[in-house]
């Protein structure tokens, strides 16, 4: 059956949205009114390279089986949706209009699939033995998650890399690394059945007889999305230098021994939480993929541009490590460096 899916975030969210539209599902992207006007007038253009091809193809929403629209947060009517996808950066959920929409989503008890790097607090409450209350300091606006039932929130590892090309309109997204979204389960069987059906619909997609990259892969383990943490702490956050930034490739391959130690440390933390080795991604596979990541991470670029808020998975992992008795100077140094850069930006902004 066709589902109606609300996606908070029209940039990265348009990648998942396009795969859903290709599979015949209907999508609403939540964004600023100005962006919504562009999307409602022109649709979206998501560019993905198929295996064996040299050039990216443009997948235009108007050419796809599902229907797409976009809306500002205040105009969303929740009763028509089966599923909500959370695709904004964590700091964005603190704005007044998104706070109110989140309050309404929680009250409506809609299942929420997060494709944020930062796991929502309700999902962290599902991890046995973890005191989620002690982790609130890693969130910019922890209070916005207070009304959510943990079992209705699951996490999807946002492994695909995508960006808005410079000079393009806000309805364009270029996919640089077309890997898969890997989802943990919900608590309720009916919500997991819906994810399985969507997974199968996306898996079946073919264009000119060819497979289309970027799948939704549902797993039985809660910990599969946490495999992304080692990648973030080894590459993305180590792009942030004391002054300026470096590409993810250089953060990983500039000092391979340090990168390997950092990666192993974070994976050890995830295993202590309850993950199995099969939930994780080997360092060699990540390091190989990182050779093609020639830009600084979005967090590093945002800091260079003067932002005062980013997603703090670095701080989250540090706080979890401290809670488990696995604190490390490797984590402390990364957190301190990013704290310093954000504080410097705050002083300039003031």
Q: How far apart are CA 30 and CA 36, in angstroms?
A: 8
Instruction: Note the pLDDT of residue 335.
Output: 98
Instruction: Please spell the DSSP secondary structure of 229-298, one letter per residue.
Output: HHHIIIIIGGGB-SSSB--HHHHHHSSHHHHHHHHHHHHHHHHHHT--GGGS--HHHHHHHHTT--S--H
Cβ atoms of residues 255 and 241 within 8 Å? no
pLDDT number for residue 176: 87
pLDDT at 122 (0 to 100): 98
CB 312 within 8 A of CB 236: no
Cβ atoms within 10 A of the Cβ of 151, count? 17
Structure tokens at 260: 């390997």
Place of tokens 């792009």: 239
pLDDT reading at 32 higher than 90: yes
Mean of per-residue pLDDT scores for the chain = 96
- Closest C-alpha among 277, 57, 297 to residue 178: 57
Question: Distance (Å, rounded) from C-alpha 201 to C-alpha 94?
Answer: 34
Q: What is the pLDDT of residue 28?
A: 98
For residue 350, what pLDDT is reported? 83
Q: Is the pLDDT of residue 131 over 90?
A: yes
Contact criterion met (CB below 8 Å) for 148 and 122? yes
Report the share of the chain in percent with pLDDT over 70.
100
**In CATH terms, are 4-218 and 224-349 the same topology?**
no
Query: Helix or strand or coil: residue 6?
Result: strand
What's the confidence (pLDDT) of residue 145? 97
Architecture of domain 224-349: Orthogonal Bundle (1.10)
Per-residue pLDDT, 177: 84
Q: Is the pLDDT of residue 159 over 90?
A: no
pLDDT at 198: 98
Architecture of domain 4-218: 3-Layer(aba) Sandwich (3.40)
pLDDT tops 90 at residue 158: no
Q: Angle at which helices 256-273 and 283-290 pack, to 10 degrees?
A: 130
50-69 per-position pLDDT tens digit: 998 999 999 999 999 999 99
For strands 4-8 and 26-30, give the pairing: parallel
Q: How far apart are CA 212 and CA 205, in angstroms?
A: 6
- Residues 71/36, Cβ–Cβ less than 8 Å: yes
When pLDDT is averaged across residues 247-263 and rounded to a whole number, the result is: 97
109-115 average pLDDT score:
98
pTM, rounded to two decimals:
0.95
Tens of pLDDT, residue by residue over 187-240, are: 999 999 999 999 999 999 999 999 999 999 999 999 999 999 999 999 999 999
Map residue 45 onto helix, strand or coil. strand
Mean pLDDT, to the nearest integer, of 267-288? 96
d(CA 181, CA 66): 20
Domains of the chain: which residue ranges? 4-218, 224-349
């Amino acid at each position: 059956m066709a589902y109606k899916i609300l996606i908070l975030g029209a940039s990265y969210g348009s990648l998942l949205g396009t795969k859903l539209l290709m599979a015949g599902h209907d999508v609403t992207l939540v964004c600023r009114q100005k962006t919504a006007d562009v999307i409602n007038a022109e649709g979206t253009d998501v560019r993905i390279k198929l295996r064996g091809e040299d050039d990216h193809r443009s997948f235009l929403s108007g050419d796809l089986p599902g229907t797409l629209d976009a809306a500002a947060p205040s105009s969303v009517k929740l009763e028509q949706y089966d599923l909500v996808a959370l695709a904004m950066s964590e700091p964005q959920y603190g704005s007044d209009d998104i706070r109110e929409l989140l309050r309404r989503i929680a009250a409506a008890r809609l299942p929420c699939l997060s494709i944020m790097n930062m796991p929502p607090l309700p999902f962290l409450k599902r991890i046995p033995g973890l005191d989620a209350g002690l982790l609130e300091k890693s969130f910019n606006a922890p209070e916005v998650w207070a009304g959510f039932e943990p079992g209705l929130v699951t996490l999807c590892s946002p492994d695909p890399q995508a960006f808005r090309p410079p000079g393009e309109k806000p309805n364009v997204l270029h996919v640089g690394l077309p890997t898969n979204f890997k989802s943990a389960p919900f608590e309720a069987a009916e919500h997991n059945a819906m994810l399985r059906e969507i997974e199968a619909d996306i898996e079946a997609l073919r264009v000119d007889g060819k497979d289309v990259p970027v799948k939704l892969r549902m797993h039985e383990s809660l910990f599969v999305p946490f495999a992304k943490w080692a990648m973030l702490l080894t590459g993305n956050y180590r792009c942030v230098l004391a002054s300026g930034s470096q590409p993810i490739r250089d953060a990983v391959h500039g000092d391979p021994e340090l990168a390997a130690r950092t990666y192993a440390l974070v994976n050890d933390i995830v295993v202590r939480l309850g993950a199995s080795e099969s939930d994780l991604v080997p360092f060699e596979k990540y390091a190989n993929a990182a050779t093609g990541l020639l830009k600084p991470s979005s967090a590093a670029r945002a800091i260079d541009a003067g932002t005062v808020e980013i997603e703090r998975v670095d701080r989250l992992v540090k706080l979890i490590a401290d809670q488990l008795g696995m604190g490390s100077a490797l984590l402390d140094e990364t957190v301190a460096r990013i704290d310093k850069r954000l504080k410097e930006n705050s002083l300039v902004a003031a």
